[in-house]
Amino acid sequence: PAVDGLGVEAYVELHCRGTVAPQELKHILAKVPEVVQAGTVSGDADAVVHLRARDIHALEEALEKVRLAPNVEFTKSSIVLSQLINRR
């Protein structure tokens, strides 16, 4: 990931208030350029979001954009320390 200048990445669980349609989540997340992948999931979280940023500060700013979105109650983030397998 550092090759393209986006050396920090995280996976974020997104928890929403009430019921939020997948299309609404897509609309919210599409406005954050650091979001490289997102999907709705089963379990406690409503969605899992993959973020990539140039540094921790940029990651924090992107997370704040996601947290401030309407209907987002809270997020739970895991920063990637090292990639073990990447088959893309």
Q: What does each of the 88 residues of the chain score in pLDDT, given as a tens digit?
A: 555 667 899 999 999 998 889 999 999 999 999 999 999 999 999 999 999 999 999 999 999 999 998 889 999 999 999 989 988 7
The DSSP 8-state label assigned to residue 23 in this structure reads: H
Other CB atoms within 10 Å distance of the CB of residue 28: 22
CA distance 60 to 65: 9
Distance of CA 63 to the CA centre of its chain: 7
Please enumerate in sequence order all residues whose Cβ is within 8 A of that of 4, keeping only pairs 6 or more positions apart, or say none.
Answer: none
The DSSP 8-state label assigned to residue 31 in this structure reads: T
3-class secondary-structure state, position 50: strand
